[in-house]
């Protein structure tokens, strides 16, 4: 890397470069089960540094075929999308500014943490609602890169719906603005004798020639992060062409995002939650459609293992929540603790409604409460201006959100292994699907919680395993194959939020078939023919490579 460092200095790169062992070790893993040691970590000062870097790497690629660049923001990716054996580029140190709000849109740099971004938007009572569960840890660039979603996606969809414009540095070393354009504008763009003009022409022809194949291949579920979002690029009916749809969710494999414009929505001031204890999963066939008829903002769930884990490690909530929240949690658990004596439910369902007035929320919840009366649902209505943990039902959100942290930190000799962690199956199949999923988990003797977005049928299953043990490591492939086969049998998607990365990229053929895999490969080759950007992810992924980089030391 000494030659690259020298080339960068000569080309005017202003940011820091760090190849110390401690830094390389820190950046060798993200929130996934993978570990890959980079050669160097760069901290660009601005977009000009990113442009300089891409030009230098493109110029040196033929001399050094293994040279590549992986963009990274907060490193919370659970699929291995932020690790690489060459150059890691950290945006959070410098390219992290909030650039302002105009109307209902905000402009932000990719390295800004979402928690800081949200503080700025809430000053205008506005919100970008497609945040992940890691909202306090994630950065906006990673959210765009993974096409994030979360507890509000049932109402608002994923971040793909909120990206209105991007600035992206492509493989030719130039920064381009991408936004939706009309067919007339596209025709002009395609006539340009430039890299950009050829890119637009090639992607349009790919999307138009394979229009029916692409549209039919889109998973018939409410959210999907598998593959490239090419089905959203060209809309024949509206005559709109939009390359941002490809960049969002591409995990930095097509270019490097340097600036983001996001649409915002009004932040509703009041919320209320209804909680159901489900002792019989057969009742889901009636409950789920009834809940969805009422169009809730959020419809979440967690299983009995999550509940028991929370009870078992209740003292740990003191550290996670602080004294005040912890005391509220204990006090508020007592009534439901008495109910739990009658038997542990298979699932706890949480249905949330939002509104601009307390009366609006109360009416929505009471209407659903009447429809679900026989299930003994209970509810709580909270004003936005109040501390939300004052609401008795907030304890269930704490259990749902903190279960992953508890799993990761409290079970000795085992570690979280997110490899079947993000499946999506339409809600009408869940009565059949969930028991079959649990049967596979039990077959491989995996201790795993099941929590997720019930309204979308999107579940996060994170087993605890001792991956240093060859016997546990040997379970990964056969267990994944069985779970994936079950998901596809019910017409689902292997990933709703966490994306492909190293863990699901190798399964694109199973998800979409040979013809669509070739389309994805053509997308990658059109944007990045030398494979400079984040190799071994998405359509470039191979299971042998991924498996060889599973962490051996935790």
CATH of the domain at 133: 3.30.465.10
pLDDT at 330 over 90: no
pLDDT average, residue stretch 451-469:
90
pLDDT at 475 over 70: yes
Please give the residue range of the domain that contains residue 77. Answer: 2-90
pLDDT average, residue stretch 221-225:
95
Give the pLDDT confidence score for residue 387 in this predicted structure. Answer: 31
For 116-138, the pLDDT digits (tens) are 999 999 999 999 999 998 888 99
74 domain residue, yes or no: yes
Give the pLDDT confidence score for residue 314 in this predicted structure. Answer: 57
What is the distance between the alpha carbons of residues 275 and 27, in angstroms, rounded to a whole number? 40
Query: Helix (H) and strand (E) counts for the chain?
Result: 23, 22
Does one domain contain both 24 and 148? no
pLDDT at 210 over 50: yes
Query: Which pLDDT band holds residue 411 (cuts at 50, 70, 90)?
Result: low
538 domain residue, yes or no: no
Residue 501: name the closest of 411, 446, 436, 422 by CA. 422
In the DSSP assignment, the letter for residue 493 is B
Does one domain contain both 77 and 105? no
Give the pLDDT confidence score for residue 338 in this predicted structure. Answer: 41
- Percentage of the chain with pLDDT > 90? 72
Q: Which of 44, 59, 90 is the last residue before a domain boundary?
A: 90
Q: Which of 39, 71, 90 is the last residue before a domain boundary?
A: 90
For 386-408, the pLDDT digits (tens) are 233 334 445 555 555 555 555 55
Cα dihedral 343/348/354/360 (nearest 10): -30
pLDDT at 385 over 90: no
Max CA pair span of the chain: 73
pLDDT at 285 over 90: no
For 67-89, the pLDDT digits (tens) are 999 999 999 999 999 999 999 99
Does one domain contain both 55 and 169? no
Give the pLDDT confidence score for residue 553 in this predicted structure. Answer: 72
Does one domain contain both 121 and 175? yes
3-state secondary structure of 121: helix
pLDDT average, residue stretch 50-68:
97
Does one domain contain both 73 and 102? no
Query: Which pLDDT band holds residue 415 (cuts at 50, 70, 90)?
Result: confident
- Count structural domains, the chain: 2
């Amino acid at each position: 890397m000494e030659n690259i460092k020298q080339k960068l200095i000569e080309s005017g790169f202003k940011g820091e470069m760090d190849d110390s062992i401690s830094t390389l070790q820190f950046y060798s893993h993200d929130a996934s089960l993978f570990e890959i040691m980079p050669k160097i970590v760069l901290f660009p000062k601005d977009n000009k540094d990113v442009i300089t870097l891409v030009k230098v790497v493109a110029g040196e690629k033929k001399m050094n075929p293994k040279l590549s660049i992986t963009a990274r923001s907060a490193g919370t990716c659970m699929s291995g999308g932020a690790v690489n054996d060459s150059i890691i580029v950290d945006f959070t140190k410098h390219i992290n500014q909030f650039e302002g709000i105009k109307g209902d849109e905000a402009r932000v740099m990719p390295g800004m943490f979402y928690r800081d971004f949200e503080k700025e938007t809430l000053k205008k009572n506005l919100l970008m609602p497609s945040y992940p569960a890691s909202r306090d840890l994630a950065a906006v660039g990673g959210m765009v890169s993974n096409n994030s979603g979360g507890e509000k996606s049932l109402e608002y969809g994923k971040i793909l719906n909120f990206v209105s414009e991007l600035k992206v540095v492509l493989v030719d070393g130039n920064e381009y603005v991408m936004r939706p354009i009309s067919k007339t504008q596209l025709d002009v763009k395609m006539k340009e004798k430039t890299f950009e003009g050829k890119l637009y022409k090639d992607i349009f022809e790919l999307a138009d020639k394979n229009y029916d194949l692409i549209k039919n291949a889109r998973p018939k579920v409410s959210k999907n992060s598998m593959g490239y979002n090419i089905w959203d690029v060209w809309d024949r009916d509206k005559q709109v062409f939009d390359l941002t749809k490809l960049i969002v969710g591409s995990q930095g494999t097509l270019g490097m995002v340097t600036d983001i414009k996001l649409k915002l929505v009004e932040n509703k001031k009041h919320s209320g939650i209804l909680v159901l204890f489900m002792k019989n999963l057969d009742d889901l066939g009636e409950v789920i459609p009834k809940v969805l008829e009422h169009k809730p903002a959020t419809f979440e769930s967690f299983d009995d293992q999550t509940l028991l884990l929370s009870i078992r490690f209740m003292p740990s909530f003191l550290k996670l929540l602080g004294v005040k929240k912890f005391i509220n949690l204990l006090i508020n658990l007592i009534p439901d603790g008495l109910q739990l004596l009658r038997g542990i439910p298979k699932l706890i369902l949480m249905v949330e409604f939002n509104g601009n007035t307390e009366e609006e929320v109360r009416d929505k919840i009471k209407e659903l409460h009447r429809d679900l009366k026989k299930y003994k649902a209970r509810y709580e209505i909270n004003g936005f201006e109040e501390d939300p943990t004052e609401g008795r039902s907030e304890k269930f959100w704490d259990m749902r959100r903190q279960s992953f942290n508890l799993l990761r930190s409290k079970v000795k000799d085992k570690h979280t292994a997110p490899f079947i962690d993000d499946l999506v199956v339409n809600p009408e199949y869940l009565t059949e699907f969930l028991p079959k999923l649990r049967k596979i988990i039990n077959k491989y003797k995996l201790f795993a919680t099941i929590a997720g977005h019930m309204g979308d049928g999107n579940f996060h299953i994170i087993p605890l395993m001792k991956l240093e043990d060859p016997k546990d490591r040997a379970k990964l492939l056969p267990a994944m194959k069985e779970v994936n086969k079950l998901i596809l049998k019910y017409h689902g998607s292997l990933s709703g939020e966490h994306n492909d990365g190293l863990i699901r990229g190798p399964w694109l053929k199973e998800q979409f078939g040979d013809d669509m895999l070739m389309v994805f490969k053509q997308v990658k080759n059109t944007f990045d023919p030398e494979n400079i950007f984040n190799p071994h992810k998405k359509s470039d992924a191979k299971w042998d490579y991924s498996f060889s980089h599973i962490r051996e030391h935790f």
